[in-house]
Amino acid sequence: MPEDTLNNMHAIGVDCPSREIYLHGFLGQSDEEPGVEYRMATSFVKNMNHLTKKDGNILIHMHTIGGNWHDGMAIYNTIEYSPCPVAIIAYGSVSSMSSVILQSSNERIMMPDSEFMVHFGSTALAGDSLAVISAMDNEKRINDRMLDVYTKRCIKGKFFRKQYKTLTADKVKSFLTRKLKDKSDWYLSAEEAVYYGFADGLVGSKKYKDTREVRGL
C-alpha cells in the first residue's frame, strides 16, 4: 500500500483507491467523547463528495458512539442521497446517533460482537419559559424524525413480519415508541438488531462471509 494512501486513511479517513471511508471520532480531546460531531461530519461529507464523482460502490467502516443530532443527520443525508451504492460495516458500540446513521446505507452490516442501542434524544434546558418550551418542541420533532428513520427500515425486519398479520408503518412506529418509553436505553445484540430490522446481517454470516466479501457488494 502506498504511504500516501495509508496517511490519508489515518489523517482524513479515506482510502480513495478502494473507495472506503473510515467514520470514527477524533481522539485526543480530553473533554470530548470521540463521537459524532462537526469535524467528523465535515470530513465525511468532503470524502463522500470526492468518491461519488466516479461510479462505484462505497464501503464505510463505522466505529463511533452517539453524538450530535444535526451533525449525524448531515452524514445520514449524504449517504441517503448518494448516487453510488453504500454499505456500512459497524464496529463496537452502535449507539444513539450512530444507530441512526446506520439506517442510511443500502447494506447495513454489523460485526458479530458489536452492540446496538437506541434511545430518545435529550437536550439541556436553559433560559426563560418560552425558550424551554421551544427546546422541548424541537426535541419532540427530532424524536419523531428518528422514529420515522427506524420505522422505514425496521418494517422489513423478521420480528415485525412475524408479529403483525397486517403490517403497517404506523404499527411499527407505535411499537418502537412504546419500547423506547419503557426503556430509556434499549440495548440489542448484533443478532437482535438484525432480527428487529435495524441491520441486514452480520460479518461472518452466510450472506456476509468476511470483510473482503463485503467490499465486493
Helix axes 69-80, 38-51, angle to 10 degrees: 10
DSSP state letters, 49-95: HHHTTS-S-EEEEEE---B-HHHHHHHHHHHHT-SS-EEEEE-SEEE
Domains of the chain: 1-119+185-217 (3.90.226.10), 122-183 (no CATH)
Helix axes 169-182, 129-154, angle to 10 degrees: 120
Residues 83, 49: contact at Cβ < 8 Å?
A: no
Residue 131: CA count within 13 A, CB half-sphere:
6
Sign of CA dihedral 202, 203, 207, 213: positive
Task: Find residue 24's DSSP bridge partners.
Answer: 63
Residues 48, 79: contact at Cβ < 8 Å?
A: yes
Residues 103, 172: contact at Cβ < 8 Å?
A: no
Residue 200 is given by DSSP the state S
Q: What is the pLDDT of residue 31?
A: 57
pLDDT in tens, 164-187: 999 999 999 999 999 999 888 999
Task: Indicate the SS3 state at residue 8.
Answer: helix
What's the rounded Cα separation, in Å, for the pair 121 and 109?
A: 24
Sign of CA dihedral 40, 43, 45, 50: negative
Reported confidence tier of residue 2, pLDDT bands at 50, 70, 90: low
Reported confidence tier of residue 134, pLDDT bands at 50, 70, 90: confident
pLDDT in tens, 181-212: 988 899 999 999 999 999 999 999 999 999 88
Mean predicted confidence (pLDDT) in 7-36: 76
Q: What is the mean pLDDT of the chain?
A: 89
Residue 18: CA count within 13 A, CB half-sphere:
21
